[in-house]
Structure 1
Amino acid sequence: MDPVIIVGAGPVGLTLALLLARQNVPAVVLDEGPGKDEPRPARTVVLREDTAALLERLTGVALGEHGVRWAGWRSLRRKQVVSEVAFDAAGLAAPLHIAQYVITNALRAALADEPLVKVAVDSRLDAVEQERFGVTAHTRGPKGTWWRGSYLVGCDGPRSTVRKLQDIRFPGRTAVERHAVAALRAELPWEGQTLLHRMPPWRSSGPSAGEVTARPLPDGVWRLDWLLPPGKDLVTPELLVARIRETLAGWTDSATPTYELLDTGVHTVHHRLARRWRAGRVFLAGDAAHLLGALGTQGLDEGLRDADNLAWKLATAWHHGPYEALLDSYQTERRAVVAARLRAADQALPVLRGGGGLRNIVPGATRGHDTLLADGHLGRGPLGASGTYADSPLAPRHLEAVIPVGTEPGAPVTDVRVTAEDGSFVQLRDRLGRGALLVVLIAPGTGVWDRKHWVSAGVMPRLAAAVTALPHPAELLVAESYPGAPAHSVLLVRPDGHLVTALSGVRPADLYAAAEAALGGAAREQQHREERRETTATTATTATASATTAEAGSAAR
């Protein structure tokens, strides 16, 4: 079968290629550039724990050594501390702040050793043709040629050529926020912590007072972002240097400390959402499908989740034939999550950026506003928390043995230690992204016994037989515990780490039904019924036409 064509060699496209290769699906990455990224210290990203872990699994690189996991978060308003979070003390997962070119270089290095992936540099897409069994793409440039693929995924950014060639609308809002950005080396009072400072006292009151955010990077480097007032005023070098000097002086309560300016820029945030994320054998992912980023939300983090969601579904269809309902679920699940986040941001923006209003009337409103703003930065609440697929078409229905656990169905599972089939201890997250479903038995006490003593005892033989009989490759794992899960419960987990369901005990029929649903089973069965009806109707029409012809011939004779 032909490879999957991926248009765009940013972090999302490269991640998708590696995810497909891990599931034995070949891919061609069309890179319109020269195959390397210019180091830009001011172009950084914040990744949640699970997306950072995804990249580390794929690249084999400890990204925490090249970025900074926040030690804490501090929110100030004028001179008052509004909130503080110490991630270790709070038991919260610390976000990772890292330069984007570091991620891209790590992904490129991993792909260089991947025989299933070909990266074609200096290849700019200009045509896409679809047919029933595949897709053809044409690139222009020094290496212009035609490429044949099974599917095509546009990961080619906000101005996506793929999206335009498929005539997919991209409505939304332009320039929702603008930030002046600087990367500099300096000593600040909050080592390893991120600071959000609203209405700093050295700025005048009013809309121009804005806010400034400081995020740490390795080697004493910081990224500073100043919220700019609405409009298109030019950010001159002189203006930016003045902002840097007054901000550093204000934070240190002294003359401007010594600093080394490394990089600058202006970051403009747009909010857009593609009408469709699938058009036949063509899909959109990352910035080609959505743009967000106001109030601390992170577009790349969502783009990596797009790739993780789509990869196992494409791999299933590539290996096992048309799984149309499963492929359709990519748009249904991911678009709903991003749309909800955009709605939350659009609802919060007038309150947080409008000035005056309720904050001057309602007691405590200011603290509530700062908490809301922190959610986007910290990955909490409607603005920042990772999305769940509770209303997914892949969710199983009417299972008798379903029980509640600490993870809602459709949400990402908690990373716990498990025992693999070879008896080794691994993290649950390390078994994701291989294309297989995961079946996790919660069996307290098994961790202290050799595998040979319990693998053939109790419910294990029956569960192992049920796992072997599932309609999709699955791996059986055993965990001593899982949050909220009673002993002998069984969890079914998708290849992208989202919980399908939790069952009370070993229930082969329910486990099979849940696995079938997770592959789009109900919708596939409906599709097969419709195809059978169409075939029956066609056969009946043909038979009627033949009979009519025969009668006419007999009458003529």
Structure 2
Amino acid sequence: MDPVIIVGAGPVGLTLALALARQEVPCVVLDEGPGKDEPRAARTVVLREDTAALIGRLTGVPLSRAGAHWAGWRSMRRKQVMREIVFDGTEPAPLHIAQHVLTGALRAALSGERLVKIAVESRLDGIEQESSGVTAHTRGPKGTWWRGSYLVGCDGPRSTVRKLQDIRFPGRTAVERHAVAALRTELPWHDEALLHRLPPWRMSGPSAGEVTARPLPDGVWRLDWLLPPGKDLVTPELLLTRIRETLAGWAGGTTPPYDLLDTGVHTVHHRLARRWRADRVFLAGDAAHLLGALGTHGLDEGLRDADNLAWKLAVAWHHGPHEALLDSYQTERRAVVAARLRAADQALPLLRGGGGLRSYVPGSSRGHDALLTDGHLGHGQLGAPGAYADSPLAPGRLEGETPVDTPPGAPVTDVRVTAEDGTFVRLRDRLGRGALLVVLIAPGTGVWERKHWVSAGIMPRLAAAVTALPHPAELLVAESYPGAAAHTVLLVRPDGHLVTALSGVRPEDLYAAAEAAVGGPVKAQAEAGASAGSH
């Protein structure tokens, strides 16, 4: 079968290529550039716990070596500290990393990957589809035709794939603008991110009264100043003045020494593609959506797109047409991003409107701070990983269903589990391999060798049920899981979202849930695909 064609070699395209390769699916990445990224210290990304874990799992390299986990978070209004959070293990710390470092780690992992070909200086200019596959044409020094089973456009806001498929991309332009500087200096706090609203010192030039400082490795900081609406020009002289004023304000009046590394202006747009699938062509990342106001980060959602789509393409590539499963990518991911955009659009007038009665409502500033903290730290409607509560892959009502602290469709909690070979691993380490995960909650098993309990109690019956499932699955055992009673059985998708939790071993329920999770009976899917191809 032909490889999957991925258009675009940014973080989302490279992540998707690695995720497919880990599931034994070959792919070709069409990179219009030279195969490396220009170092830009001011172009950084913040990854939440789940997306940082995804990249670490795929590359085999903990990203904490290349980025900075924040030691804490502090928000201030004028001279008052409104909120302080210490990331001590109970609260996961966001990871701040330069984007070129992130893509470099992904490229390094792909360099030895036998199933992935990266075609540099290959700019897409044509797509043709048939029932059996898709053909892409690239121009440039190595212009040629490429044949693929599916094609995924990860080619950014100006996506050629989206335009060639005539998919509309409505939304709002320049929702927020920020002046950005990356510099090496010493600030009064160590490795803590800061959001400072209405700082008490005078700010030269256009300013909306908000500045953010986020640490990077080696004493480097990224500073962002929110700009007022409009197109005011941010000159180098004005930015240097802004840097000196801000550093002096934080240091008590005297500007500390600093080494300016990079500057820029970051403009945030909010857009959402009407469709994310056109037969064998899909959109992901900035080609499908743009968001990022109020401290949120669009790359997180792009990486979640790749994680969601990879295992579904892998199932279709290995086992034949699974149209309901492939359709679920758009249904699940578009709904989550649309909800995120709605939440941001509803909060923007409150947080950025300024003046009026809102300025005098008691406690309003604390409410504003809570919303901004959600965006920056990945909490709530603005930032938390989305749940696929209304997924078409959700099973119907199951007799043995039981509640746990994770609702069906939400990402599972990362707990320690025992693998089939008896080793202790993290649950997240077993994701992304194309298999469903069946997790038995069995208190006390952690203190016994596997050979003593693998053939005892309900384990043989559960193992037989797992072997009989309609899709490959791995059986794991955990001593505990939040909200789960002993002998609860969790069914988890390859991307880490919970399908269902069952009380005890219920082979019929487990089979039905697994069948639903992969889009229904395989035979029915194949027949539907054949029927669609005959019209």
Instruction: Quote the Cα distance in structure 2 between the aligned partners of 1:334 and 1:383.
Output: 15
Show the counterpart of 1:71. 71
Q: 1:458 to 1:219 in 2, by over 3 A?
A: same
Report the Cα offset of residue 210 of structure 1. 2.1
Unaligned ranges ≥5, structure 2: none
- Residue equivalent to 2:324: 325
Distance 1:64 1:395, change over 3 A: same
Is 1:201–2:171 an aligned residue pair?
no
For 1:235-276, what per-residue CA distance to the aligned partner results, in whole angstroms no more than 9, with x for missing partners? 100010010000000000121110000000000000000000
Matched residue, 1:554: none
Deviations 1:133-189, CA, capped at 9 Å, x for gaps: 100000000000000000000000000000000000000000000000000001001
Question: Could you tell me which residue of structure 2 aligns to residue 478 of structure 1?
Answer: 477
- Larger mean CA deviation between 519-528 and 314-323 belongs to 519-528
- Cα distance in 2 for residues equivalent to 1:330 and 1:340: 16
- Distance change (3 Å), C-alpha of 1:533 and 1:326: closer
Matched, 1:61 2:72: no
Corresponding residue of 1:301: 300
- Name the CA distance, whole Å, in 2 between partners of 1:331 and 1:26: 22
TM-score relative to the length of structure 2:
0.97
**CA separation in 2, counterparts of 1:205 and 1:260?**
21
Following the alignment from structure 1 to structure 2, what is the Cα–Cα distance between the partners of residues 113 and 529? 38
Q: 2:259 matched to 1:260?
A: yes
Question: In structure 2, how many angstroms separate the alpha carbons of the residues matched to 1:524 and 1:249?
Answer: 69
Note the 1:545-556 alignment, pairs <5 A: none
Q: Does the 8 Å contact 1:440/1:479 carry over to 2? A: yes
User: In 1, Cα distance between the equivalents of 2:227 and 2:522?
Assistant: 48
Distance in 1 separating the partners of 2:248 and 2:204? 18
Paired letter, 2:69: R
1:187 aligned residue: 186
Distance 1:524-1:210 versus aligned 2 partners, 3 A rule: farther
Shift of 1:377: 0.3
Structure 1: tracts of 5 or more residues without a match: 539-557
Which residue in 2 is equivalent to 1:426? Answer: 425
Cα deviation, 1:32-68, whole Å, max 9, x if unaligned, reads: 0000001111100000011101101111122101111
| Cα 1:85/1:524, change in 2 over 3 Å | farther
Paired letter, 2:34: P
Report the secondary structure of 1:497's partner residue: coil
CA contact (8 A) 1:206 1:355 kept: no
Match of 1:555 in 2: none
1:362 positional shift? 1.5
Write out aligned runs for 1:458-473 (5 A): 458-473=457-472
Greater share of helix:
1
Q: CA deviation at 1:527?
A: 9.0
Q: Secondary structure at the match of 2:207?
A: helix
For each residue in 1:103-161, what CA deviation from the matched residue of structure 2 results, as whole angstroms up to 9, or x when unmatched? 10011011110000000000000000000010000000000000000000000000000
Q: Which residue of 1 aligns with 2:86?
A: 86
Answer whether contact 1:200 1:209 (CA < 8 A) is retained.
no
Residue equivalent to 1:7? 7
Q: In the alignment, what sits opposite 2:145?
A: 146
1:43 and 2:43 are equivalent in the alignment: yes
Which amino acid is 1:436 matched to? A
The residue that corresponds to 1:311 in the other structure is 310
Q: Distance in 2 between matches of 1:412 and 1:534?
A: 35
Instruction: Give distance in 1, aligned partners of 2:405 and 2:471.
Output: 26
Q: Secondary structure at the match of 1:275?
A: coil
Q: Which amino acid aligns with 1:192?
A: D
1:547 — aligned with what?
Answer: none
Aligned to 1:131: 130
CA spacing shift, 1:526–1:154, aligned 2, 3 Å:
closer
Write the letter of the residue equivalent to 1:73: W
1:143 counterpart SS class = coil
**Residue 503 (structure 2) pairs with residue 504 (structure 1):** yes
Residue 307 of structure 1 aligns to a residue whose secondary structure is helix
Letter of the 1:72 counterpart: G
Q: CA RMSD in A?
A: 1.9
Q: Distance in 1 between matches of 2:267 and 2:523?
A: 43
Counterparts of 2:146 and 2:75 in 1: how far apart (Å)?
A: 51
- 1:234 equivalent in alignment to 2:233: yes
- For 1:52, the equivalent position in structure 2 comes to 52
Query: Is the CA contact 1:207–1:355 (under 8 Å) kept in the aligned structure 2?
Result: no
Equivalent residue, structure 2, for 1:548: none
The structural deviation recorded for 1:452 is: 0.7
Which whole-Å CA distance do the structure 1 matches of 2:53 and 2:523 have between them?
A: 33
Q: Aligned AA for 1:129? A: E
Counterpart Cα distance in 2 of 1:123 and 1:533:
32
For 1:208, what is the secondary structure of its paired residue?
coil
CA contact (8 A) 1:183 1:223 kept: yes
The equivalent of 1:31 in structure 2 is 31
Cα-to-partner distance string for 1:488-523 (whole Å, 9 max, x where unaligned): 000000000000000000000000000011011179
One-letter code aligned to 1:413: V
Note the C-alpha offset of 1:370: 1.0
**Aligned equivalents of 2:531, 2:322: Cα separation in 1:** 17
Counterparts of 1:150-169 in structure 2 under 5 Å?
Answer: 150-169=149-168
1:533 CA drift (Å)? 13
Map of 1:224 onto structure 2: 223
8 Å Cα contact 2:131-2:533 kept in structure 1: no
TM-score normalised by L of structure 1: 0.94
State the 1:525 CA deviation.
4.8
Cα distance in 2 for residues equivalent to 1:534 and 1:102: 43
Report the Cα distance in structure 2 between the residues aligned to 1:279 and 1:524, rounded to whole angstroms: 23
Instruction: State the SS of the aligned residue for 2:511.
Output: helix
Distance 1:405 1:309 in 2: 23
Distance 2:77 2:249 in 1: 13
Aligned-residue offset at 1:19: 0.4
* 1:352-396 per-position Cα deviation (integer Å, ceiling 9, x unaligned): 001013432311111111111111001111101110001100011
Map 1:359-378 → 2, pairs under 5 A: 359-378=358-377
CA deviation after TM superposition for structure 1 residue 526, in Å:
8.7
Task: From the superposition, tell whether residues 534 and 359 of structure 1 become closer, same or farther in structure 2 (CA, over 3 Å).
Answer: closer
1:524-555 deviation digits (Å, cap 9, x = unpaired) = 859958989999xx9xxxxxxxxxxxxxxxxx
CA distance in 2, matches of 1:148, 1:221: 44
Tell me how many residue pairs correspond in the alignment: 535
Report the residue type matching 1:32 in the other structure: E
| Alignment partners' CA distance in 2, 1:452 and 1:418 | 15
Opposite residue 15 of structure 1, the aligned amino acid is T
Output the amino acid matched with 2:93.
Answer: A
Equivalent-residue separation in structure 2 for 1:533 and 1:136 (angstroms): 19
Aligned equivalent of 1:542: none
> Are the equivalent residues in 2 in contact too, given 1:323–1:524 (CA < 8 A)?
no
